[in-house]
Amino acid sequence: MFMLFLPQIRVDGIPPASQSALLYETVTVSEGHPILRDMVFSPDYQYIYLLSDKQVSRVPVESCSQYSTCKECLGSGDPHCGWCVLYNKCSRQEACEKWSEPQHFATELKQCTEVSVTPSNMSVTSPATQVSVRAVNVPSLSAGVICVFEELSESQGEVLSKGHVLCLSPSLRDLPALTQGYGDKRVVKLSLKSKESGHTFITTDFVFYNCSVLQSCSSCVSSPFPCNWCKYRHICTNNVAECSFQEGRVNSVESLWQQQQQWWWWQLHFK
């Protein structure tokens, strides 16, 4: 027994100059029987009919749905597939609603959506904050978007301009338990859901950090987040107001070293 595979090849100029064709996918067709040369398309060109000595097989000309990201989709080399942006799916052109409108349907890797978030992190002790999300290579978002911070919150996004959305972070009451069991930070998914399509079309990482779980001065000031060590209260906090003026604070490894130098100088001269 053996499996017979149908190679899918494109010859439309996409392959490198040194090659006459590009093999972009191999599809399992029949087990144990050779495929005859006679092949025919279905009337709508969605399928190819293949013959063996025992059976007729109907094989789709594409399997775009196997790709879950824009880069996988457009990097596959399958000429039938493109990225349907607001529906967050790899599909044939005609299966993407409004495919003919600008930036609804991507056909090249350079057209994949890119996103940046400012700020990209916040403390679990911070009040609700506006987060700026900027996306490149997206269509008009005039129909509106919903901002989703995983299971924490879901709110209406404010569309400022094409590809620029303001999202409100979860409220303070939702945050204290957020990092329990996660150490000094938890990475959550910030997503934008299109009101037009009802689908999430952008997802990126957002970090909530918790300075208070850091129990030593060195771990506090070495944190990649804006944590401060209150010298006499021995607490780590992102809020400098929590350190009294008299006790001061340490907010970097350099200032920690300076504090240690001062302590040793005092020990040498006054003890």
Q: What is the largest CA-CA distance in the chain?
A: 100
Distance CA 51, CA 29 (A): 10
**Token pair listed for 136:** 């490149």
Q: What is the pLDDT of residue 71?
A: 96
Q: Where in the chain is the domain with CATH 3.30.1680.10?
A: 65-111
Spell out the residues 6+ positions from residue 196 whose beta carbon is closer than 8 angstroms to its own. Answer: 86, 143, 144
As assigned by CATH, the class of the 212-270 domain is alpha beta
pTM (whole model) above 0.85: no
**Rounded CA separation 216/229 (Å):** 8
pLDDT digits (tens, 9 = 90+) for 126-155: 888 999 999 999 999 999 999 999 988 899
pLDDT at residue 259 greater than cutoff 70: no
The pLDDT of 165-172, averaged and rounded, is 90
Q: Which sign does the torsion angle of CA 106, 109, 110, 115 carry? A: positive
Residue 238 has pLDDT above 80, yes or no: yes
The class (CATH top level) of 114-209 is mainly beta
- CA dihedral (172, 186, 198, 142) in degrees, to 10, reads 60
Domain with CATH 2.60.40.10 in the chain: 114-209
CATH topology (fold) of 65-111: ligand-binding face of the semaphorins, domain 2 (3.30.1680)
Q: What confidence score (pLDDT) does residue 117 get? A: 98
pLDDT per position as a tens digit, 22-74 = 665 666 666 666 777 777 877 887 787 877 777 777 777 788 999 999 999 99
Answer whether residue 7 shows pLDDT above 60: no
DSSP letter at 242?
G
- Higher per-residue pLDDT: 74 or 162: 74
Task: Report, as an integer, the average pLDDT of 9-26.
Answer: 53
